[in-house]
Amino acid sequence: MTRKSNGRKPKTARRIKARPDAASTTKQDALASLVAAGAQALALPIDPAWQAGVRFYLHLLFMHAALVDDFPLPDETEPAPVFRA
Amino acid sequence: MTFRCLTKPSRHRCSVLETAAPDFAWSNAADIVAAVGGGRASAVSIVEATFARIRKRDPVLNSFTAVTEQRALARAQAIDASRARGEPLPALAGVPFAVKNLFDVAGLPTLAGSKINRDAPPAAGDATLIGRLEKAGAVLVGALNMGEYAYDFTGENPHDGPARNPHDRSRMTGGSSSGSAAAVGGGLVPLALGSDTNGSIRVPSSLCGLFGLKPTYGRLSRAGTFPFCTSLDHVGPMARSTHDLALAYDAMQGYDAHDPVCVDRPIEPVTPLLQRGAEGLRIAVAGGYFKCRSAEAIAAVDRVAAALGANRDIEIPQAELARSAAYIITATEAASLHIDRLRSRAHDFDPMTRDRLIAATMLPASLVIKAQKFRRWYRTELLRLFAEVDAILAPATPCIAPALGQQTFQIGDVELPVRANLGLYTQPISFAGVPVVAVPVPLTPLPIGVQIIAAPWREDVALRIAHTLEVLGVAAAVRPQEN
């Protein structure tokens, strides 16, 4: 996502881009480590040419997840799927 | 005599048909039913004309991946024979329809838009909804192009090529029910089935100028369809009129034990209710997150709101988070579904799909479960709104159809990636499982859709409003110039 320099930004773009550590080198390294370890643990072959794409989408997933994870919910909240015996 | 039909050598053989039938290319299903029932056209002539149109137009639209000509002609002959015996005809007698190729069609591999599934054995039977439409007299004519494994908003498929927008062949149909939109919008069939996990009926309906129904989660059976994300998967019809949506929807309702999500509720026919219109319904416009700043989306919502006298805004709480949670659940459930294929045939995926799925295998479960908990909270909050209003209006897409291959679009002062953001306004709605009708607003040069969102199980409300807009001339499926 690229933003122009002036004017207000939509809420989605602003909130996701604004996380201060989102693009940090440390975080990128952590993502690379997670991808490497995950691929090994899950026996997923990842062509080196795909690494950047996988890291990009994992980064995006973590940004979306951080938004949801920051939202306070009562401990008693049931997950949406309900199994019926 | 036989020949290789359509444009691809892999497609199934068809018999040559002479087409002396009247032109029903832009007729609604209801008109076809009336013509067949009244003896003005035979079901066989309707079906033959349909295949003639497919042969003529689909090399351009690229909407079909298989045609079922022999089967369709047999069905049509049975309908004509039934009429000749003086038997009453069912509600969709003689209406050609086609299905997104994630629906099982007996004798065809269920591609789900993929290369990998071409190696799957042919389906042993039909999806439940195909059976129900055929029981109502509709005639299956083929299977339709789609985004790979439904993980797509663009309609661009690397294996089958993109379906093309009937209003402008250089533009996207939207996805993932891309072939469904191209086939109905291009006048090949009056009715198609699609699936909608995050917007895959509503986005292509918007970009191709069609009516699309995403019913309540659990209303229509998904049995015999290839899944994407079962927590969010819906199926539904796309058509050129509200009446046709209602006819198809009524024919497809009913409990099905083969889909664990399908809810055991009485069938609630909506077709007889359409004439009630929108009188007395409380309608608001979604504010906040849904206040799109693209000129087309604003114009479409304003036009619809003005016609309905909807002069009040209502805020859908935490819609942005709903989109994020939908993104997480979708990616991780799909990753779980495909992990064996990612291990064994990763090179055969669309790279855009593959990289997203691999990434999602690595997201911690704690975050996924939090997203599911948020979904519960969000549903409760959204349902509260329906104590105040009967329906909510929102844009269906943030823009008109982008060009094929286009990577970004401008919304207000921000440039956004096309692929991820065509579902900006549909994802938070399907996340709650509520029913939505996307109605086409015929702007110049291209149409764009508006979502009519109703409370769970109130498809009737959304369809009544859509019908009202159609009667008022505010919503309409416009015939493309190419036809």
Question: pLDDT category, A1, cuts 50, 70, 90?
Answer: very low
State the total domains in chain A.
Answer: 1
Residue spans of the domains in chain B: they are 18-324+361-472
Q: What's the pLDDT at A48?
A: 94
Residue in chain A lying closest to B362 (CA): A38
Residue B18 has pLDDT above 80, yes or no: no
The answer for B 328-347 residues in CB contact with A (under 8 A) is: 328, 331, 339, 342-343, 346-347
Residue A16 lies in a domain: no
Enumerate the residues of chain A whose CB falls inside 8 A of the CB of residue B370: 65, 68-69, 73
ipTM of the complex: 0.90
In a domain, A43, yes or no: yes
Interface test with A, best of B353, B373, B416 (most A CBs within 10 A): B373
Cβ–Cβ below 8 Å for B367 and A57: no
Confidence of residue B16 (pLDDT cuts 50, 70, 90): very low
Domain that residue A36 falls in: 23-68
pLDDT tens digit string along B362-407?
Answer: 999 999 999 999 999 999 999 999 999 999 999 999 999 999 999 9
Can you give the C-alpha Rg of chain B in angstroms?
Answer: 21
Q: What chain A residue is nearest to B341 in terms of C-alpha separation? A: A44
In chain B, residues 422-441 whose CB comes closer than 8 Å to chain A = 424
Asked if B287 and B431 touch (Cβ cutoff 8 Å), the reply is no
| Closest chain A C-alpha to B417 CA, distance in angstroms | 6
Q: Do B376 and A10 count as a contact with CB atoms less than 8 A apart?
A: no
Flag if A12 and B320 touch (Cβ within 8 Å). Answer: yes
Residues in B touching A78 (Cβ below 8 Å) = 373, 376
Is residue A84 one of the residues assigned to a domain?
Answer: no
**Nearest Cα residue in chain B from A42:** B361
- State yes or no: is B100 an active-site residue: yes
Please, what sign has the CA dihedral across residues B43, B49, B50, B52? positive
List, as ranges, residues 349-368 from B with C-beta within 8 Å of A. Answer: 351, 354-356, 358-363, 367
pLDDT at B22: 59
Q: For A57, which of B342, B356, B375 is closest by C-beta distance? A: B356
pLDDT tens, position by position, A13-65 = 334 444 545 446 778 889 999 999 999 999 999 999 999 999 999 999 999 99
Q: What is the pLDDT, as a whole number, of residue B293?
A: 79
Position B181 scores a pLDDT of 98
> DSSP letter at A3?
E
The confidence score (pLDDT) of residue B482 equals: 65
Mean of pLDDT values over B437-462: 97
Distance CA B187, CA B76 (A): 19
Break chain A down into helix, strand, coil percent, rounded to 5: 55, 0, 45
Contacts of A77 in chain B (CB under 8 A): 373, 376-377
Q: Is B24 on the interface with A (CB under 8 A)?
A: no
Chain A residue numbers touching B318 (CB-CB < 8 A): 71
Taking the C-alpha atoms of residue B429 and residue B88, their distance in angstroms, rounded to an integer, is: 40
Closest CA to B94 of B85, B86, B83: B83
Position A31 in a domain: yes
Question: Would you give the DSSP letter of residue A2?
Answer: E
Q: Which CA distances in Å does B423 have to B12, B73, B144, B401, B420?
A: 34, 38, 21, 13, 7
Spell out which residues of chain B touch residue A64, defining contact as CB-CB under 8 Å. Answer: 324-325, 327-328
Whether B320 has a pLDDT exceeding 70, the answer reads yes
Distance in angstroms (rounded) separating the CA atoms of residues A46 and A56 = 14
Q: Do the Cβ atoms of A68 and B324 come within 8 Å? A: yes
Catalytic annotation present for B195: no
**Is B8 one of the catalytic residues?**
no
d(CA B118, CA B136): 30
Record: fold of B18-324+361-472: Amidase signature (AS) enzymes (3.90.1300)
Note whether residue A1 is domain-resident.
no
Pick the catalytic residue from B114, B200, B231, B294.
B200
CA torsion sign, B410 to B416 to B422 to B426? negative
Average pLDDT over residues B176-196: 98
CA–CA dist B200, B301 (Å, integer)? 20
Give the pLDDT mean for B410-422. Answer: 88
Q: Considering B27, B42, B45, B100, which one is annotated as catalytic?
A: B100
**Among candidate residues A16, A17, A13, the one with its CA nearest the CA of residue B413:** A13
In a domain, residue A42? The reply is: yes
Average pLDDT, chain B: 94
Strand partners, B214: B436
Q: Which residues contact B137 (CB under 8 A, 6 or more apart)?
A: B33, B79, B89, B90, B91, B92, B93, B94, B95
C-beta separation of B180 from B237 below 8 A: no
